[in-house]
């Protein structure tokens, strides 16, 4: 077998092509997931902080109202 025959056979061989397709598809999905997390993270942190503040204020108000009743 000559080198040119080897190159022609190598170029025509499609074994492993499906694996490459799956690797590319998986990499795209992972990249999309990372992009979504990066874009949503700031809003989620702000929302969690606001919820924590509201709960703390509600607890403080409840404690104050209960103390005033005694």
Residue 62 scores a pLDDT above 80: no
Q: Cα separation of 70 and 42, whole Å?
A: 43
- Express the helix, strand and coil content of the chain in percent, nearest 5 each: 90, 0, 10
Q: ∠ at Cα 49 (48, 53), nearest 5°?
A: 120
Q: Which domain holds residue 11?
A: 3-68
Q: Given a cut of 80, is residue 66 above it in pLDDT?
A: no
Can you give the length of the chain in residues?
A: 70
Residue 67, pLDDT score: 65
The Cα 67–Cα 61 span in angstroms is 10
Categorize the per-residue pLDDT at 26 as very low, low, confident or very high, splitting at 50, 70 and 90: very high
Copy the structure tokens of residue 38: 């990066």
* Number of domains observed in the structure of the chain: 1
């Amino acid at each position: 077998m000559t080198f040119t025959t080897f190159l022609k056979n190598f170029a025509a061989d499609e074994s492993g092509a499906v694996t490459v397709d799956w690797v590319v598809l998986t990499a795209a999905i992972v990249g999309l997931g990372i992009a979504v997390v990066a874009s949503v993270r700031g809003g989620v942190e702000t929302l969690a902080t606001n919820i924590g503040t509201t709960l703390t204020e509600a607890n403080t108000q409840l404690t104050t109202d209960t103390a005033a009743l005694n």
